[in-house]
Amino acid sequence: MGVPLKLTWGSLGPLFATAVLVRTAVRDFLPPETHVMLRALLSRAAAAFVPPCDAIIFHETDANGVPNELYDAAQLYLGARCLATASAMHLHKTHGAAVAVASLPDSHATRDSFRGVHVLWTSHLDGNASSSFGGSFSSSSSRGFVHHPFPIGGRQRCLRLEFRRRDHDIVRNAYIPFVLEEAAVLRAKMRERKLYTNNSGFCGGRGGVDDHQILWTAHKFSHPSTFDTLAIDPALRDGICTDLLRFVRRREHYARAGRAWKRGYLLHGPPGTGKTSLVAAIANLLEFDIYDLELTTVMSNSDLRRLLASTRPKSVIVVEDVDCSLGLFDRTCAPPSEDGMLQHALTLLPPPVELAMQRETISLSGVLNFVDGLWSSCVGERLVVFTTNHMNKLDPALLRPGRMDRKIELGYCRGPALRVLAKNYLGDAAVDGDEHEAAPARACKELMGEAERLLVEVQVTPADVAEVFMGCDGDDGAHAALQNLVDELNSRRNVHGPA
């Protein structure tokens, strides 16, 4: 049995002396040609243990100072995915942003993996840094793929992505697209969402790059409504949620079917049933902006098209109370009579002004083209939502599939909606009271059951119930609110009778 070789401090001296002697003998006694050949053999042997690397360099800007989307996406991706345990990072927060954004500082590196492929990201002030992936970066063992030219005479930030040469195709064709997609998702979550309203008073004009700022006024959108707080039937709520999430995932499906990537919703029901809250919950779920379009301030069909063309992707375009905004009544019925005094006033105007007033108006055809015409496909993914209190007054052409793909009726308050409202306003104890708990909890449960039975007979909206709950607070707020609701429902039943 062999004795294992042990390396001690005492043996290092003779070993080092032997190595120096061999090196001197090779240099002094071997011819130069043999020396070069031996050096090449040793380099090849070392390369067998250190696989060659490739690199892709992303500069922050190009030679003209144009920002590089790949650089920005990579920094955003690294900040969210790879810097949680980093020893150093940059943090940046813009005014009004919800959170700070992390990025990789200069002369620092971080690692990532994708489908079993390990990569190294390094941040530099120029593109001439050496590799630290598995050895020095040289033209004989690795290649650099520069996406943007480096400006002559200047220094700028760049990111260097290094990986094994055998993983080149996966990195170029799968990993980099993955980084871009993840960065787009992160950017959408981080951005401050807006509520836009169309400006009144603009008249015609030529479209241009500044149309959005000219036609729309922006406000911060911070409505708290979510699908968890909506006072609607749970089955209806879940169905809407599923439909919306399927819509945003089906870009390729819409393109394959030859359809614009949009979907139309018509929300109808009595006032106070939660139509506006549902619109806000949809925008919060999809993380879309909202364009609140007031049709009565739009002067013509061409202006309506211009407004549509200026909207941006990932948006909900809302027209509230469409039955009141315009005369989009059913053409199969007799149109409503015109105001005689208005007609008489028009006859007193000069003929050119009268003709202009009659010409500059939105027609049903203009609204139909807005919803489902050629101009409706000029933007990315969008949801078009109309709300109305009287769906039977609208023209059938507006209601057909392809224009209004889903018609959602929001009705009067019933038991499931009442429980959501009670949880929102009064807390869990008002809804989940146990018979074996204290007397107040049992009393709340009894009152909740009584209110649910009365809601079958009395027609009240969720807004009516919310108003009753808003009037009660304090230690006994839940019990007092439910008692007030039961009293109100009994009073309405006695006055109006069962529904």
Residue 268 lies in a domain: yes
Residue that has been written with the tokens 């809250």 in this structure: 277
Q: Cα(first)–Cα(last) distance of the chain, in Å?
A: 100
Do residues 234 and 202 share a domain?
Answer: yes
Which tens digit of pLDDT belongs to each residue from 408-460?
Answer: 999 999 999 999 999 999 888 777 655 556 677 788 889 999 999 999 999 99
Do residues 371 and 423 share a domain?
Answer: no
Residue 353 lies in a domain: no
**Strand bridging mode 216-220 / 194-198:** antiparallel
Do residues 471 and 401 share a domain?
Answer: no
Distance, in Å, from the CA atom of 313 to the CA atom of 193, rounded to the nearest integer, reads: 12
Which tens digit of pLDDT belongs to each residue from 195-212?
Answer: 999 997 665 555 444 678
* Cα–Cα distances in angstroms (integers) from residue 342 to residues 338, 339, 346, 354, in the given order: 8, 5, 6, 12
- How many domains does the chain contain in total? 3
Q: Predicted confidence band at 62 (pLDDT cuts at 50, 70, 90)?
A: confident
* Res. 279: pLDDT tops 90: yes
How many other C-beta atoms are found inside a 10 Å radius of the C-beta of residue 375? 19
Q: Of 190, 215, 250, which one is at a domain's C-terminal end? A: 190
Q: What is the CATH number of the domain that holds 204?
A: 3.40.50.300
Do residues 215 and 242 share a domain?
Answer: yes
Residue 40 lies in a domain: no
Helix (H), strand (E) counts: the chain:
19, 14
How many other C-beta atoms are found inside a 10 Å radius of the C-beta of residue 346? 13
Q: Is 272 left (phi over 0), alpha (psi -120 to 50) or beta?
A: left
Do residues 116 and 98 share a domain?
Answer: yes
What integer pLDDT is reported at residue 374 of this predicted model?
Answer: 63
What integer pLDDT is reported at residue 150 of this predicted model?
Answer: 43
Do residues 103 and 131 share a domain?
Answer: yes
Q: How far is residue 213 CA from its own chain's centroid?
A: 21
Do residues 183 and 204 share a domain?
Answer: no
Residue 16 lies in a domain: no
Do residues 110 and 199 share a domain?
Answer: no
Q: Is 287 left (phi over 0), alpha (psi -120 to 50) or beta?
A: left
Residue 289 lies in a domain: yes
Q: Of 136, 164, 190, which one is at a domain's C-terminal end? A: 190
Strands across the sheet with 144-146, in order? Answer: 109-114, 117-124, 158-164, 53-59, 144-146
Do residues 390 and 429 share a domain?
Answer: no
Do residues 295 and 215 share a domain?
Answer: yes
Q: Which domain holds residue 314?
A: 194-335+364-409
% of the chain exceeding 70 in pLDDT: 72
All residues at 6 or more sequence positions from 153 whose CB lies less than 8 Å from its CB, including other chains: none
Count of CA atoms in the C-beta half-sphere (13 A) of 362: 22
Do residues 438 and 311 share a domain?
Answer: no
Residue 327 lies in a domain: yes
